[in-house]
């Protein structure tokens, strides 16, 4: 029997059921026919945050950031590299705390950048402050094992 997982389409936000064996075969959305795994960082907003956190079976890494924050801007290419490297196993997203202060308050964000890993709708772990790509990958790995 094939193991499957739900993936939210980054284009039309339809929930798709995908065989885990097919994740490396560039699956497409059953609704909009666009790629489900883009290797790009998702932009989360209040209207789609819970959908991505609750409906994706893969872990979701969220970078809470703001455009005026120097360390956040330094983390941007690191987050982008992580999204490419992890596209079949982890959904990588960013949330602008300036545009979505309600979500920042909901999760008690007091400093940025703050990274959180969610699985099955629950926050597993968080980290405040910038880090290198190797440190980020190590942190993600240790958070998920």
Place of tokens 């945050």: 49
Active site residue 69: yes
Active site residue 91: no
* Backbone torsions φ then ψ of 66, nearest 5 degrees: -145, 150
- State the catalytic residue, choosing from 9, 29, 72, 91: 72
CA dihedral 107, 113, 115, 116 (to 10 degrees): 0
Q: Helix, strand or coil for residue 31?
A: coil
Buried b (16+ CB within 10 A) or exposed e, 53-69: bebbbbbbbbbbbbeeb
Task: Give the catalytic positions in this structure.
Answer: 69, 72
């Amino acid at each position: 029997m094939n193991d499957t997982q739900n993936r939210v389409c980054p284009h039309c936000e339809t929930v798709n059921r995908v065989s885990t064996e097919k994740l490396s075969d560039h699956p497409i959305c059953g609704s909009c026919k666009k790629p489900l795994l883009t290797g790009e960082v998702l932009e989360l907003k209040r209207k789609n945050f819970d959908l991505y956190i609750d409906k994706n079976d893969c872990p979701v890494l969220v970078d809470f950031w703001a455009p005026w924050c120097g360390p956040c801007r330094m983390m941007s290419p690191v987050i982008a590299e992580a999204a490419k490297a992890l596209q079949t196993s982890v959904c990588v997203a960013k949330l602008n705390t300036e545009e979505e202060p309600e979500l920042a308050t909901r999760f008690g964000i007091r400093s940025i950048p703050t990274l959180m890993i969610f699985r099955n709708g629950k926050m597993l772990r968080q980290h405040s402050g910038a880090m290198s790509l190797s440190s980020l990958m190590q942190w993600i790995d240790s958070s998920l094992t």
